[in-house]
Amino acid sequence: MPNIFFLMLRRLRTPIITLILIYAVSVFGLVLIPGMDDAGQPYRMDFFHAIYFISYTATTIGFGEIPYAFTSAQRMWVLVCIYLAVIGWAYALSSIFALTRDQALTKAIQYTRFTSKVKRMNEPFYLICGYGQTGRILCQVLDTQDIRFVVIDLREERINDVALADYHFDAPFYAGDAANPELLKIAGLSHPRCIGVLGITGNENTNLSIAITAFVLRPKLLSICRSKNQEISDNMASFGTNKVINMFEAVGQQFQLAMHAPAVSHLRKILSDFPGNPFPPSIKPPKGHWVIVGYGRFGRSIHKALSQEGISVHIIDPDPQPELDPQIYHQALGVDAASLKTAGIEHAVGLFVCHDDDANNLSSLATARAINPALFIVARQNLATNHLLFNAFAPNFISIRSEVVAHEALRAMANPLLAQFVLALVTKEDEWASQLTIDIDNLCQGIVPEHWTVRLNAKNPAAVQAFLARPLPSLQIKHFYHSVIDHGRPLQCIALLRRHGEKDILLPKADDMLRYGDELLFIGDHHAQQSHQAMCSEVSLMEYARTGVEQPQSWIFRKIAAWRERS
Amino acid sequence: MNLEKVIFGFFILLAFTLNFGFVIGQIDVAHQHDVNELFAAIVVNLIATVIKFGDRTQVGALHLATSLVADLQLIAASLVWWNALYITQLGMTPAITTTIVSLSAGALAANLVSVILLIGETLQHRR
């Protein structure tokens, strides 16, 4: 900031010197010209009165002629002074305004402000590169979870939306190229409070260079990058990127899981949705003949998923696809009845519309539904702004690219234990998952629960007390289910995962003995989360949860309690 | 010859000479110190300060600092003068004259540093 201040002063040198000269000449003129006091005696104005007079005259305030009425000679000179001063001020003010509208200077000011704001961040934050549709969703979710973030994006008009987005706190933002390592550094990549970097710009090479920069500057930092094709994904992964989101692959895998084990897929969706949202609907895609309209990267990944499940498909695409069997493919746009009928839409159970153009998707969807109203339709929505149109046609499932990426990113960011749980989920049975889904539903009444981790380590004073200072009664998971205010009342939470060392136990039992060094993953409502947080920092609360007896807090009462115990 | 250097040197030297002219004379005799000269010294010092804005070098920073010191001292001297005439209305007693002159002598020292810097810089760059 000081540099900019002097930079401005330097550009304003001429107007300031002009003003000083005008004032000096005016004042000196007034001092030189003889006046007359009210007794008719000759009188000379002194410097103090001259400066006073010129100051209010030059700024057009005009208090009148002091200390005595002026002579004609003085009035003549004051006339000159007035015009000089007005010109001087007009020149100075216009220079100042011109300077504030100067593009280069505004940019410099923004840059300095951004730098100092990032430097002053004193809470953990994420660095988000790219403020497109995905970036917006992620920022909103982070904001509701009171996690801070810094945003950079190439485009000025996009980045200005951050200021208007009404976040709870003042998120630093800057318009610049995220591929520039210098900018990433200033945006907080090497800041000690930075806990992760997200490369979700529209440009894959930019995302790749974010991955590289993150690897070079902070090899241990959580980095999440988006890519559209496999080579870039591999390249990113080779730079130690923790999570590469290949959005087309992700959609295909999700769909395959939904077909294979609908309850597991539903549970997975619930756990990776944003806390506070209503439960995502469960989808059960029927098995039978499917039609895929549009064979881009999205369609390819769906085709792969379906053929792994052994489902017959027919593909329609406007471009020739030589690698496909001509039996299951024909060349058309897929928006007219004829081409859909050739694909066997009449006896199909499901339809995928995945062009990269929303208008084509909608028209294909409408035509197919007119032919076969019972179709299960999955539609790809490209632009978040088109949701009104898609909702009107009501396909069974809408896949929005930006939301898919946001969910995937969030899962990677949120909580390593949760990510572990979701990963382990895939191997579980459908019945197991549906039972757990019902439990979660009872817990939170159809709202996606919050999730948090309790670490029983040396940083947790209550754990030290419970394991080392007073090991009896031994700490069990059920102690975490009690309210810390009213012992009998249960907290709305479930322990999903217990990790001891390298071993993970899914859904640990309530009477499992806990051991020092355990990590527990809970889901539940906000109240339960707050209670656990309080419990871990406050030894007495943990004692209360363990024993149900409120321990005396002060020295005197402890003495009294010990004495009463003895007697 | 570079016009910018001429203007720069001119104002720095003029600030010094005017200041010197005001200070010279017996320290407690009011009529040996002209109020017009003090006014001129203040104005020229202010201009010299503005001219020095924006030089990012170490020497430039020192230049600016000396000018700011001189401004401060001279304005303080003029305020003492004003205080004697209008607030306490004691007039120019030897004690007050001494205060004013010694304050401006301080400014003179700052201006002298400025001139030395100017000369030093010039000698460094001689060809």
Q: Is residue A295 part of a domain?
A: yes
- Supply angle C-alpha B78, B83, B84, rounded to 5: 100
Q: Which of A241, A272, A300 is the endpoint of a domain?
A: A241
In this prediction, residue A91 carries a pLDDT of 95
Q: Are residues A198 and A130 in the same domain?
A: yes
pLDDT tens digits for range A295-352: 887 788 888 888 887 888 888 888 887 777 777 888 888 788 888 888 888 888 888 8
This prediction has a pTM of: 0.67
Q: Is A31 on the interface with B (CB under 8 A)?
A: yes
A200-204, A532-536, B118-122: the lowest-pLDDT one: A532-536
Q: Is residue A490 part of a domain?
A: yes
Peptide bond into A461 cis (omega under 30): no
**A9 → closest Cβ in B43, B46, B54:** B54
Q: Are residues A90 and A141 in the same domain?
A: no
Partners of residue A10 in chain B, C-beta under 8 Å = 53-54
Q: Which of A241, A259, A282 is the endpoint of a domain?
A: A241
With contact defined as beta carbons under 8 Å apart, do A188 and A125 qualify? yes
Mark yes or no for CB contact A17/B47 under 8 Å: yes
Q: Is A66 on the interface with B (CB under 8 A)?
A: no
Q: Are residues A233 and A173 in the same domain?
A: yes
Interface test with B, best of A48, A49, A51 (most B CBs within 10 A): A48
Residue A557 has pLDDT above 90, yes or no: no
Q: Is residue A278 part of a domain?
A: yes
**B50 → closest Cβ in A3, A13, A24:** A13
Q: How many domains in chain A?
A: 4
Nearest CA in chain A to B46: A20
| Nearest chain B CA: its distance from A50 CA (Å) | 11
| Nearest chain A CA: its distance from B26 CA (Å) | 23
| Average pLDDT for runs of 10 along chain B of length 127 | 83 94 92 92 93 80 92 94 89 92 95 92 71
Query: What's the average model confidence in pLDDT over A186-214?
Result: 88
One-character DSSP codes across A388-444: HHHHHH--SEEEEHHHHHHHHHHHHHH-HHHHHHHHHHTTS-HHHHHHHHHHHHHHH
Q: How confident is the model at residue A505 (pLDDT cuts 50, 70, 90)?
A: confident
Q: Are residues A263 and A231 in the same domain?
A: no
Question: d(Cα A311, Cα A349) in Å, to the nearest integer?
Answer: 11
Domain with residue A528: its CATH number is 3.30.70.1450
In this prediction, residue A553 carries a pLDDT of 67
| Nearest chain A CA: its distance from B4 CA (Å) | 13
Question: d(Cα A129, Cα A187) in Å, to the nearest integer?
Answer: 10
Partners of residue A46 in chain B, C-beta under 8 Å = 35, 85
Question: d(Cα A133, Cα A540) in Å, to the nearest integer?
Answer: 46
Partners of residue B35 in chain A, C-beta under 8 Å = 46-47
Within a 13 Å sphere around the CA of A161, how many CA atoms are in the beta-carbon half? 16
Q: Is residue A108 part of a domain?
A: no
A353-367, A418-432, B4-18, B96-110: the lowest-pLDDT one: A418-432
Q: Is residue A421 part of a domain?
A: no
Q: Is A394 on the interface with B (CB under 8 A)?
A: no
Task: Return the beta strands (E) in B22-123 as ranges.
Answer: none
Interface test with A, best of B8, B14, B39, B79 (most A CBs within 10 A): B39
Domain with residue A63: its CATH number is 1.10.287.70
Q: Are residues A236 and A274 in the same domain?
A: no
Residue A416 has pLDDT above 60, yes or no: yes
Which two structure tokens, joined as six digits, stand for A370? 């007119």
Distance from chain centroid for Cα A248: 22
Q: Is residue A565 part of a domain?
A: no
Q: Which of A65, A100, A135 is the endpoint of a domain?
A: A100
**A17 → closest Cβ in B40, B50, B56:** B50
Question: d(Cα A403, Cα A407) in Å, to the nearest integer?
Answer: 6
With contact defined as beta carbons under 8 Å apart, do A448 and A457 qualify? no
Q: Are residues A341 and A463 in the same domain?
A: no
Domain with residue A289: its CATH number is 3.40.50.720
| Nearest chain B CA: its distance from A45 CA (Å) | 12
Nearest CA in chain A to B51: A13
Query: What's the average model confidence in pLDDT over A537-559?
Result: 74
Helix H or strand E encompassing B103? helix B94-124
Q: Is residue A32 part of a domain?
A: yes
Nearest CA in chain B to A29: B36
Nearest CA in chain B to A27: B39
Q: What angle separates helix A13-32 from helix A2-11, to the nearest 10 degrees?
A: 60
Q: Distances in Å between the alpha carbon of A178 and those of A109, A163, A196, A206?
A: 19, 19, 15, 7
Chain B residues whose C-beta sits inside 8 Å of any chain A C-beta = 35-36, 39-40, 43, 46-47, 50-51, 53-54, 56, 78, 82, 85-86
Interface test with B, best of A3, A7, A9, A12 (most B CBs within 10 A): A9
Q: Are residues A224 and A254 in the same domain?
A: no
Within a 13 Å sphere around the CA of A239, how many CA atoms are in the beta-carbon half? 23
Question: d(Cα A176, Cα A159) in Å, to the nearest integer?
Answer: 9
- Smallest CA-to-CA distance from A67 within A48, A81, A93 is with A48
Question: d(Cα B88, Cα B91) in Å, to the nearest integer?
Answer: 8
Q: Are residues A406 and A262 in the same domain?
A: yes
In this prediction, residue A320 carries a pLDDT of 81
Q: Are residues A92 and A149 in the same domain?
A: no
Beta bridge partners of A173: A151
Mark yes or no for CB contact A6/B54 under 8 Å: yes
- Residue pairs spanning A and B at CB distance below 8 A: 44
Q: Are residues A473 and A526 in the same domain?
A: yes
Beta bridge partners of A151: A128, A173
Q: Are residues A95 and A124 in the same domain?
A: no
Q: Is residue A223 part of a domain?
A: yes
The separation between the first and the last C-alpha atoms of chain A, rounded to the nearest angstrom, is: 71
Mark yes or no for CB contact B54/A16 under 8 Å: no
Q: Are residues A362 and A400 in the same domain?
A: yes
Which two structure tokens, joined as six digits, stand for A378? 């999955």
Mark yes or no for CB contact B54/A17 under 8 Å: no
Q: Distances in Å between the alpha carbon of B11 and those of A114, A293, A542?
A: 39, 80, 76
| Most confident region among A47-56, A290-299, A323-332 by mean pLDDT | A47-56
Question: Residue A168 belongs to what domain range?
Answer: 116-241
Nearest CA in chain B to A21: B43
DSSP A170: -
Interface test with A, best of B7, B10, B11, B43 (most A CBs within 10 A): B43
pLDDT tens digits for range A94-153: 999 998 888 888 888 888 889 999 999 888 899 999 998 888 888 888 888 788 899 999
Query: What's the average model confidence in pLDDT over A519-541?
Result: 82
In this prediction, residue B14 carries a pLDDT of 94
Distance from chain centroid for Cα A348: 41
- Supply angle C-alpha A393, A395, A396, rounded to 5: 150
Mark yes or no for CB contact A13/B54 under 8 Å: yes
- Smallest CA-to-CA distance from A5 within A98, A105, A117, A107 is with A105
**A28 → closest Cβ in B39, B46, B78:** B39
CB burial of A252-270 (b: ≥16 within 10 Å; e: otherwise) equals bebbbbbbebbbbbbbbbb
Which two structure tokens, joined as six digits, stand for A389? 């149109």
Which two structure tokens, joined as six digits, stand for A548? 């149900």
